[in-house]
Amino acid sequence: MASSPLVTSILAPFVAVGRAVIGLFAAIGRVVLFGLRIIVRGLTPPYYPARFFEQLAHIGWFSLPVVGLTAIFTGAALAQQIYTAGSRFSAQSTVPAVVVIGMVRELGPVLVGLMVAGRVSSAMAAEIGTMRVTEQLDALTTLRTDIYRYLIAPRMFAALIALPLMVLVANAIGIFGGWLLAVQKLHFNSANYLSVTRHFLSSDDFRMAIVKAGVFGFFIALMGCYHGYHTSGGAAGVGNATRNAVVSTFMLILGSNFLITATVFG
């Protein structure tokens, strides 16, 4: 029996919501299966160490300038803001403690993740997407080359190693930026500033930074490779894949940062 127009109009919003929810879970399932396939195939031979070190240099070494500039300016700006806010309550002495905790636990990992995602995840999506639309991936498959092992797994494992290392470097540079501004502009005593910094810096802070960096690196490589691998539609499809890779990576980084902070280290 055909439903009446009234019933159809009433159910239409629920149908749309249900379709969107089903589509969301289907997309999540495809991404999860894609990530599992990368891990399983990447851990089985043959291996491609040359591709791995090439990606390690591309993701890590060539990203250091932008990461370093971001970290030093962020550390300096954070010190200035904490000093300005603390002066209202005669709490200027909290500057070194807040700078070191804020940089190591939050700002360092998140800013490095976002900067590298904008630079690397987009490049992965564009490169692999171009190979898809120009049928280079099909040619590799014809030559019996496993695309996951040859193209995707090296990027994934390189990101997992490069991001924690870059976060450690960024944390050090950010703390240096805060120290430089505090000593040169705010007239802090250098020895006292460094002593307070060492006192408030704990091993838990380093563990949080490393865990976050590893998760962010996984998401950066996963979304860049996933959207590039599933590109279609020529040049416009490559552009869409690049945009989707950056946007989805940003969302995953910010969401996972909150979850890790609130649950694992809460």
What tens digit of pLDDT does each residue of 117-161 get? 999 999 999 999 999 999 899 998 888 888 999 999 999 999 999
Cα(241)–Cα(232) distance, integer angstroms: 9
Quote the pLDDT of residue 251: 94
Mean pLDDT of the chain, nearest integer: 90
Cα(170)–Cα(109) distance, integer angstroms: 8
Cα(79)–Cα(95) distance, integer angstroms: 6
**What is the SS3 assignment for 44?**
coil
State the average pLDDT over residues 63-72.
93
State the average pLDDT over residues 82-100.
85
State the average pLDDT over residues 230-239.
88
pLDDT digits (tens, 9 = 90+) for 166-202: 999 999 999 999 999 999 998 888 999 899 888 888 8
Quote the pLDDT of residue 93: 81
State the average pLDDT over residues 236-240.
91
Our separate counts of H helices and E strands in the chain read: 12, 0
pTM confidence score: 0.90
Quote the pLDDT of residue 1: 45
- The two tokens of residue 104 are 């190591």
